[in-house]
Structure 1
Amino acid sequence: MKKILIGTLFSMLVLNSCADESINEDPHSAYTTTAESVVSYAQKSLADYVNTPSVNENNFRLTMQYWQETTYVNESNYDFVNRNVSNNIWTDNYVQVLNNLNKAKELTESYSPTAAEISTWPVTKKNRLAIIDLMMVYTYQNMVDTFGNVPYSQALQLEAFPLPAYDDAATIYSSLIQRAKTDVQSLATGSSFGAGDYYYQGNIAKWKKFGNSLLLKLGIAIADSNPSLAQSTVTDAIAGGVFTSSADNCQLPYQAASPNYNPLYDALVASGRDDYIAAKPFVDFLLANNDPRISSYYQLNEDDEYVGQVVGQPGEVDVFSRIGEFAHEPTHPGTIMNYTEVAFYLAEAAARWGTSVPATAYATAVQASMDEWGVSAVDATAYLAAHPYNAANWKQSIGLQAWAALFNQGQTSWNFYRRLDYPVLQASATAAPEAGGKVPVRMTYPVREQSVNGTNWAAASSAIGGDKLTTKLFWDKF
Structure 2
Amino acid sequence: MRKYILTSLTAMLFVGCSTSDDVNTDQHATYNTTPEALITYAQKELSDYMTTPNVNENNFRLTMQYWQETIYVNESNYDFTNRNVSNNVWTDNYVNVLKNLDQARRTIDAYVPAVQEAPTWPDIKKNQLAVIDMMQVYTFQVLVDTYGDIPYTQALDIDAYPLPKYDKASDIYASLISRLTTDIDNLSTGSDAFGSGDIFYKGDVGKWIKFGNSLLLKLGIALADVNPSLAQNTVNHAISGGLMSDSDDDCKFQYLDSSPNENPIYQEVTSRNDFIAGKTLVDYMNTTADPRISVYYRGPIAGQYVGQVIGAPGAFASFSKPGLFTRDATTPGVLLSYTEVSFYLAEAAARWGIGGSPATLYNTAVTSSFADWGKEANAAAYLVAHPYNASNWKKSIGEQAWVAMYNQAVTSWNFYRRLDYPQLVAPTTAIPNAGGKVPVRLQYPPAEATTNGTNSAAASAAIGGDKLTTKLFWDIN
TM-score by length of 2: 0.96
Alpha-carbon distance change, 398 to 120 in structure 1, aligned in 2, over 3 angstroms: same
Tell me if 1:7 matches 2:8: no
Query: How far is the alpha carbon of 1:8 from its aligned partner?
Result: 2.1
Contact 1:301 1:318 in 2 (8 A): no
Q: By how many angstroms is 1:25 displaced?
A: 6.3
What's the counterpart of residue 439 of structure 1?
438
2:420 paired with 1:411: no
For structure 2, list consecutive stretches of 5 or more residues without a partner in the other structure.
Answer: 1-10
Aligned to 1:120: 120
SS in 2 for 1:335: strand
Deviations 1:109-143 (A, max 9, x none): 11111222111101000000000000000000000
Match of 1:363 in 2: 363
Contact 2:16 2:41 in 1 (8 A): no
Aligned equivalents of 2:12 and 2:55: distance in 1?
Answer: 27
Does the residue aligned with 1:257 lie in a helix, a strand or coil?
Answer: coil
Q: Counterparts of 1:195 and 1:26 in 2: how far apart (Å)?
A: 29
Greater CA drift, 448-457 or 412-421: 448-457
- Per the TM alignment, residue 451 of structure 1 is displaced from its structure 2 partner at its CA by 1.4
Deviation for aligned residue 1:302 = 4.6
Q: Distance in 2 between matches of 1:36 and 1:115?
A: 21
Whether contact under 8 Å (2:151, 2:164) holds in the other structure is: yes
Change (3 A) 1:3 1:241: farther
Q: Secondary structure at the match of 2:36?
A: helix
Matched, 1:397 2:393: no
Q: What corresponds to 1:321 in structure 2? A: 320
The correspondence of residues 324-363 of structure 1 with structure 2, limited to 5 A, is: 324-355=323-354, 356-363=356-363
Q: Which residue of 2 aligns with 1:93?
A: 93
Cα deviation 1:161-202 (Å, max 9, x = unaligned): 111110000000000000000000000121110010011011
Q: Which residue of 2 aligns with 1:75?
A: 75
One-letter identity of the residue aligned with 1:283? V
Q: Indicate the residue corresponding to 2:3 in structure 1.
A: none
Equivalenced residues, count: 465
1:178 aligns with 2:187: no
Residue 468 of structure 2 is matched in structure 1 by 469
Is 1:266 aligned with 2:244?
Answer: no
CA deviation vs aligned residue, 1:352-406 (integer Å, no higher than 9, x gap) = 11111111011000001010011142x2111000111111111011000001111
State the AA in 2 paired with 1:233.
Answer: T
Deviation at 1:26, TM superposition (A): 4.9
Match in the other structure for 1:256 = 257
Instruction: Give the letter for the 2:386 counterpart.
Output: H
Contact kept? 1:4, 1:44, Cα under 8 Å: no
What SS class does the counterpart of residue 48 from structure 2 fall into?
helix
Cα gap change, 1:206 to 1:307, in 2 (>3 Å): same
Match of 1:425 in 2: 424
Match of 1:194 in 2: 195
SS at match of 1:68: strand
Instruction: Give the SS at the match of 2:298.
Output: coil
Kindly provide the CA deviation profile for residues 433-466 of structure 1, in whole angstroms up to 9, marking residues without a partner as x: 1101000000000011111111001100000000
Tell me the distance in 2 between the aligned counterparts of 1:177 and 1:25: 37
Give me the whole-angstrom Cα distance separating, in 1, the residues matched to 2:385 and 2:26.
Answer: 56
The runs of at least 4 consecutive aligned structure 1 residues that moved more than 6 Å come to none
2:7 corresponds in structure 1 to: none
Distance 1:69 1:444 in 2: 22
Taking every aligned residue pair, what percent have the same amino acid on both sides?
60
Task: Work out whether residues 78 and 431 of structure 2, in 8 Å CA contact, stay in contact via their aligned partners in 1.
Answer: yes
Distance in 1 (alpha carbons) for counterparts of 2:382 and 2:29 = 52
CA distance in 1, matches of 2:314, 2:26: 41
Q: Which residue of 2 aligns with 1:157?
A: 157
Q: Is the 8 A contact 1:6 1:259 kept in 2?
A: no
Counterparts in 2 of 1:130 and 1:387: CA distance versus 1, 3 Å: same
For 2:14 and 2:28, locate their aligned partners in 1 and report how far apart those are by CA, in whole Å: 14
Distance of 2:146 and 2:216 partners within structure 1: 18
Q: Give the root-mean-square deviation of aligned CA atoms.
A: 1.3
Whichever residue aligns with residue 291 of structure 1, its letter is D
CA distance in 2, matches of 1:28, 1:64: 41
Contact 2:276 2:322 in 1 (8 A): yes
Q: Residue in 1 aligned with 2:247?
A: 246
CA contact 1:8–1:28 (8 Å) conserved in 2: no
Q: Give, in angstroms, the shift of residue 31 of structure 1.
A: 1.7
**Quick check: 1:219 aligned with 2:228?**
no
Task: Please say if residues 201 and 251 of structure 2, whose CA atoms lie closer than 8 Å, have aligned partners that are also in contact.
Answer: yes
State the secondary structure of the residue aligned to 1:336.
strand
Deviation track 1:63-100 (CA, whole Å, cap 9, x = no partner) reads: 00001001100000000001000000000000000000
Question: Cα–Cα, structure 1 residues 204 and 464, in superposed 2: closer, same or farther, change >3 Å?
Answer: same
Give the 3-state SS of the residue equivalent to 2:317 in structure 1: coil
Q: Which residue of the partner structure matches residue 105 of structure 1? A: 105
The residue type equivalent to 2:213 in the other structure is N
- The answer for the alignment partner of 1:293 in structure 2 is 292
Q: Secondary structure at the match of 1:406?
A: helix
Q: Given that residues 220 and 231 in structure 2 are in contact (C-alpha distance below 8 angstroms), is that contact kept between their aligned partners in structure 1?
A: yes
Distance in 1 between the 2:273 and 2:27 partners? 36
| TM-score normalised to structure 1 length | 0.95
Counterparts of 1:26 and 1:223 in 2: how far apart (Å)? Answer: 46
Matches of 2:44 and 2:27, distance apart in 1: 21
Paired letter, 1:354? G
Q: Which runs of 5+ in 1 are unaligned?
A: 15-19
Displacement of 1:336: 1.0
TM superposition shift of 1:206: 0.2
Name the structure 2 match of 1:17: none
Secondary structure (helix, strand or coil) at the match of 1:407 reads helix
C-alpha spacing 1:27/1:440, structure 2 compared with 1 (3 Å)? farther
Q: Secondary structure at the match of 2:466?
A: coil
Question: Do the aligned partners of residues 437 and 25 (structure 1) sit closer, same or farther apart at CA in structure 2, a change above 3 Å counting?
Answer: farther
Classify the secondary structure of the residue corresponding to 2:438.
coil
Question: Is the CA contact 1:198–1:253 (under 8 Å) kept in the aligned structure 2?
Answer: yes
